[in-house]
Amino acid sequence: MQAQNYNGHNIATVLHDAKSKNIVIFCHGYRSSTIGPNRFFVRAARKLAEYGLSSLRFDQYGSGNSEGDFFNSSFNDWVVTTKVIVQDYLQKGYRVALLGQSMGGSTVVAAGSEIAGLTAIVAWVPDASADDFHMPENGIIEENGQIVQALYWQEAHGAKIGERLFSIKAPMYIVQCTADEYVNQKNRDIFIKNAQPHQTIDNLEGYKHSTWTYKQSEEIIEKSVKFLVTSFQLKG
C-alpha cells in the first residue's frame, strides 16, 4: 500500500500490477475500504490478475488508510476523486474500467457518466438515493459507531444517480439483490427503468446487500470478472 496525491488528498492505494495497460479501478462503499465487504475486492482483484488485468484499489478521503476524518466525507468528493484517478490512468495510456460496491457503485455510475473513454463499468448494489432527504437537526448522521456530516447523503440524493445511466456510453453490468437491506425496491426499480441496451441488470433473488454467502460471492465475482475480461477483449 502506498499514498498518492489525488484531488488534493493523500489517498491510500493498492496496485495489483499484472504488467498490463488494462486496469480496473475499485471504488469501495460507505464506511468501507480498499478490501471491500468481506475482502470481496481482494478476491476479485486476484481473479482479474489471473486474466492479465491490473487493478487499483483505493481508500476515499477519510476512509481506510487515507488521510482525513470520515466525518468530513463528501459524496461529491468521492466522485471527483474517482474521476481524477481515472483520468490519471487514461493519460498514462491505460484502458480503464470501474467496479464499485454500494455507494461506491453509485460513485462509479456518477463518475462514469462524466468520463469519456471508459472500457466498462460494474456496479454492485448501487443506491439511486431517490428517496426524499430530510436533514437531521444537528446535521450529523451516525451509523455503527461512525458519524458523518449529513451533507454526504444530501449530495448523494442530489446527484440524480439513476438518471446518469442515460449518459453512460460504456457497457455496464449492474448487480441488484432482492433482499437488500439498504437499497429498497423503489431505488432498484429506477435502474431497471433507466437501463439502456448496453447496460445489463442482474437481479439476484434472495441475496442481501453485501452479506453474501461464499457461494453467492463467488458467483458475483466470477460474473463480474468475466464481464470485464470480455469488455477489454472486445475493445482491444
Q: Cell 455507494, residue?
A: 103
The overall average pLDDT reported for the chain is: 97
Asked whether the predicted pLDDT for residue 236 surpasses 80, the reply is no
Q: Confidence band (pLDDT; 50, 70, 90) for 222?
A: very high
Question: Rounded CA gap, 55 and 53, in Å?
Answer: 7
Q: At what angle do helices 75-91 and 151-158 cross, to 10 degrees?
A: 60
Q: Please list, in sequence order, all residues whose beta carbon lies within 8 angstroms of the beta carbon of residue 189, skipping any fewer than 6 positions away.
A: none
Domain count of the fold of the chain: 1
More confident residue, 31 or 236: 31
**Average of per-residue pLDDT across 87-109:** 98
Strands 95-101 and 140-143: unpaired
**Average of per-residue pLDDT across 173-182:** 98
Q: Confidence band (pLDDT; 50, 70, 90) for 235?
A: confident
Alpha-helical (H) ranges within the chain are 40-50, 75-91, 103-112, 151-158, 185-194, 214-235
- pLDDT number for residue 98: 98
Read off the pLDDT of residues 191-213 as tens digits, 9 standing for 90 and up: 999 999 999 999 999 999 999 99
146 is in which domain, residue-wise? 2-235
Which secondary-structure segment (H or E) carries 148? strand 146-149
Q: Confidence band (pLDDT; 50, 70, 90) for 6?
A: very high
We report the CATH number of the domain holding residue 65 as 3.40.50.1820
Percent of the chain with pLDDT over 90: 97
Other C-beta atoms lying within 10 Å of the C-beta of residue 182? 15
Question: Rounded CA gap, 26 and 51, in Å?
Answer: 17
Which secondary-structure segment (H or E) carries 167? none
In the three-class reduction of DSSP (H, G, I as helix; E, B as strand; rest coil), residue 199 is classed as strand
The CA distances from residue 170 to 75, 79, 153, 155, 231, in Å, are: 22, 17, 26, 24, 9
User: Among candidates 158, 187, 47, 161, which has minimal Cα distance to 104?
Assistant: 161
Q: Confidence band (pLDDT; 50, 70, 90) for 99?
A: very high
Read off the pLDDT of residues 137-169 as tens digits, 9 standing for 90 and up: 999 999 989 999 999 999 999 999 999 999 999
Read off the pLDDT of residues 39-97 as tens digits, 9 standing for 90 and up: 999 999 999 999 999 999 999 999 999 999 999 999 999 999 999 999 999 999 999 99
Q: For 171, list phi and psi in degrees, rounded to 5.
A: -60, 145
